[in-house]
C-alpha cells in the first residue's frame, strides 16, 4: 500500500463540522478523442451543475436477464458476508460485489454505452471499485440518511480525490413511493468535513444504518440552502450516473413494489484507493477492490 | 360504562387476518337543514369515494395565532405525559389534548367553517374525541406505518361504528419531502381484521412506533390493488378531513422543513366510545375523551 498523500478532505477527525469547497473538477478532460461525443455538451453541463445525470430507458433490454442472474446470485451467494439484510428484519437489502460473481453483470458494466460515459467523465481509464445490488423490499425497505459516498470512501477506504462516478440501472420502476434515491442537486460542489471519529469495523453496522459521516442538521440546512430535494425516478432500464460527492439519501419503501437497482462505482485508475485517511484498517475487498484493473469496452 | 354491543369489526383476536367490507355509511344523512349546503355535492361525492377531502388555504388566517399558542403549550405542558417524543431522539413528536389546554384551539375546532363539515358528514352532533399537534421535526421526524385509526379506536377505546372524521390544519407547508400524510384513496370502504392480540398498555409504545393493528403485507397488497398511494400536500392553512377508517401512514421527514399539523377527531354523539372491543382497560382520557359534550358552532 502506498504512502498516504496530503489529506485534502479531512473528516471525522474529532473537530467541529465545517463545509469546504471541492478541490477537484467534476468532469475531467477526455483522454481519448473517440470519447468526445459520448455525451452531448448539454449533458456534460448538466452533470457538472447538478452532480447527476438520468438516461431514461437507456438499457431496458438488459433488465430481464440481469434480474434473472441476480435471482440466481441470491441463491449462490447465500450465507456469505456480501449479503446484507435490513436493520429490523431478515429481508435482503444488499448484495455486494456481483461483478466478481457473475459474468453478465461484468459484461453490463463493460458495455461501451455505459463504461465510456464513466471514462469520459473521469478523463482516464477506470476500474470497478465497488459493485452492488440494492434491493428495497416492499413495506420493510428502510430509509438511508443523507451522506456523501466520497466521505466514506476517503475516510474508510483511502480514496484520495473526487474522481469517481457511480453508474446504476433501475431493475424495477423507481417511483416516488418505493424509496427512490433522493439527491441534493449541486451539493457535490461542497464537502462536509464531518464531526465524530470512526471506530474500527464501523462498516459492519454502517451498511445497515449509517451513523458516522452523516452531516449535522445545521450543515444539511446550509448545504440545502434553497436547493430542492430531487427524487431520481424512472422506468426499469433507466440508467443514472451520480458523482461520488453528491449528498444523497433515500426514504423508506412504504409501497407494495420492490425497488431494485444494480450499481457499479467506477473509480479513475489515477485515483486508486490507498491507506484510509484515518487510523482504520482498510475495509474488505468486496467494499473496495484492492486489485484495480482497467475495464475494457466490450460490445454485446 | 355501557354494555359492549355486538362487535361488527373484530380485530386482534388471535385469528387469521382477513379483509371485510365496511358495514357503515361513509357520509350520514344531515340532521339539520342548514347543514345541507356545507359541502357541495361534488365534495360529498369525492369524500365518499376517496375517504378524504382537501380544502386548500381554507383557514390560513388562523395559522400564525395557532402556531404561537402551540409554542406556549410546549412550555406549559412540559413534562406531562401528553407530550410524546420521537422513537430514537428526544425531539417532540406529539402534543395530545391541546383542545383541553388552550381556548384558541377549542375555538378553532368550534368554528362553523370546520365544525359544520364534521356535523354534515356524520349527520349528528359531534364531540372532540381526541386532539393533537403532530410535529415532524426536520431530519429526525420518523415514519409511521400503514394503519386505520378506527381499528385502534375500536379495539383499544371501544368506538363501536365508523362514524368519526379527523379534521386537521397544516401549520407549516406540507410537501412531498417533509413527511406528509400518505393515504390510500378508497381504502376506507374495507376493513382489515388484523392478526395478533393487544397487550395491556400497548399505547405506551404504540404512540411512538405502532406494531399492532398494522396490516400484514399481503393485506396491504390486496387493499392497494391498483390504487395509487397519494401524498396529502398543501400550503400552511390548508384543511383536510379524513375518514376514520382510511388506511394511512407517513414517511420520514428527511428535509430541513418541519411538518406541523393540528388535528381533532370529531366523533358522532351517537357513536360514543364504550368498553374496548378487547380485554384492555380504556386508554387515558387524553387519547379518548370520556366526557363527550357536543361542540357548538362559534363564530370568530
Dump pLDDT digits (tens) for B203-222.
Answer: 666 666 667 788 999 999 99
Query: Could you tell me which chain B residue has the CA closest to the CA of A179?
Result: B251
Q: Does A43 touch chain B (CB under 8 A)?
A: no
The answer, yes or no, to whether residue A210 has pLDDT greater than 90, is no
ipTM surpasses 0.90: no
Q: Which pLDDT score is estimated for B300? A: 62
> What is the tens place of the pLDDT at every residue in A230-273?
999 999 999 999 999 999 999 999 999 999 999 999 999 999 99
Query: With pLDDT > 70 as the criterion, what percentage of chain A qualifies?
Result: 94
> What is the tens place of the pLDDT at every residue in A146-195?
999 999 999 999 999 999 999 999 999 999 999 999 999 999 999 999 98
Q: Does A220 touch chain B (CB under 8 A)?
A: yes
In the predicted model, residues of chain B with pLDDT beneath 70 are 1-4, 199-210, 300
- Contacts of residue A176 in chain B, CB cutoff 8 Å? 176, 231
Nearest to A220 among B139, B217, B229 (CB): B139
How many C-alpha atoms does A14 have within 13 Å on its Cβ side?
A: 3
Q: Does A216 touch chain B (CB under 8 A)?
A: no
Q: Which pLDDT score is estimated for B1? A: 45
Which of the residues A251, A253, A258 would you substitute to probe the B interface, choosing the one with the greatest number of B C-beta atoms within 10 Å?
Answer: A251
Which of the residues B87, B139, B145 would you substitute to probe the A interface, choosing the one with the greatest number of A C-beta atoms within 10 Å?
Answer: B139
Answer for the pair B157, B282: CB distance below 8 angstroms, yes or no: yes
Tell me if B254 and A255 make a contact (CB, 8 A cut-off): no
- Contacts of residue B256 in chain A, CB cutoff 8 Å? 217, 220-221, 224
Answer for the pair A85, A93: CB distance below 8 angstroms, yes or no: yes
Q: Is the pLDDT higher at A211 or at A284? A: A284
Domain residue ranges of chain A, discontinuous segments joined by +: 18-268
> What is the tens place of the pLDDT at every residue in A2-30?
445 789 999 988 888 999 999 999 999 99
- CATH superfamily to which B18-268 belongs: q2cbj1_9rhob like domain (2.60.120.620)
Q: Which pLDDT score is estimated for A1? A: 45
Q: Which pLDDT score is estimated for A78? A: 87
> What is the tens place of the pLDDT at every residue in A50-90?
999 999 999 999 999 999 999 999 999 988 999 988 777 77
Phi/psi of residue B15, nearest 5 degrees? -105, 170
Tell me if B256 and A138 make a contact (CB, 8 A cut-off): no
Answer for the pair A55, A168: CB distance below 8 angstroms, yes or no: no
Q: Which pLDDT score is estimated for B59? A: 97
Amino acid at each position: 500500500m502506498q504512502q498516504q498523500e496530503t489529506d485534502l478532505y479531512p473528516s471525522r477527525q474529532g473537530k467541529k463540522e465545517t463545509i469546504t469547497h471541492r478541490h477537484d473538477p467534476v468532469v475531467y478532460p477526455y483522454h481519448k478523442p473517440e470519447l468526445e461525443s459520448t455525451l452531448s455538451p448539454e449533458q456534460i453541463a448538466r452533470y457538472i451543475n447538478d452532480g447527476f445525470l438520468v438516461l431514461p430507458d437507456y438499457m431496458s433490454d438488459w433488465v430481464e436477464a440481469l434480474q434473472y442472474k441476480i435471482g440466481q446470485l441470491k441463491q449462490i451467494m447465500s450465507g456469505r458476508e456480501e449479503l446484507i439484510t435490513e436493520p429490523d428484519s431478515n429481508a435482503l437489502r444488499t448484495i455486494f460485489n456481483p461483478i466478481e460473481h457473475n459474468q453478465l453483470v461484468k459484461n453490463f458494466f463493460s458495455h461501451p454505452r455505459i463504461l465510456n460515459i464513466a471514462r469520459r467523465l473521469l478523463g482516464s481509464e477506470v476500474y470497478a471499485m465497488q459493485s452492488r445490488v440494492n434491493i428495497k423490499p416492499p413495506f420493510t425497505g428502510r430509509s438511508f440518511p443523507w451522506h456523501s459516498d466520497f466521505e466514506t470512501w476517503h475516510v474508510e477506504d483511502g480514496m484520495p480525490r473526487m474522481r469517481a462516478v457511480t453508474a446504476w440501472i433501475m431493475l424495477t420502476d423507481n417511483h416516488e413511493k418505493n424509496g427512490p434515491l433522493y439527491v441534493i442537486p449541486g451539493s457535490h460542489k461542497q464537502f462536509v468535513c464531518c464531526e465524530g471519529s470512526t471506530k474500527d469495523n464501523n462498516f459492519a453496522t454502517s451498511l445497515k444504518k449509517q451513523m458516522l459521516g452523516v452531516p449535522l442538521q445545521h450543515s444539511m440546512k446550509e448545504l440545502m440552502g434553497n436547493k430542492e430535494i430531487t427524487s431520481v425516478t424512472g422506468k426499469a432500464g433507466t440508467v443514472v450516473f451520480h458523482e461520488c460527492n453528491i449528498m444523497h439519501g433515500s426514504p423508506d419503501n412504504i409501497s407494495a413494489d420492490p425497488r431494485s437497482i444494480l450499481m457499479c462505482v467506477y473509480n479513475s485508475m489515477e485515483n486508486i484507493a490507498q491507506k484510509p485517511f484515518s487510523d482504520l484498517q482498510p475495509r474488505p475487498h468486496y467494499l473496495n477492490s484492492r486489485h484495480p484493473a482497467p475495464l475494457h469496452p466490450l460490445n454485446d
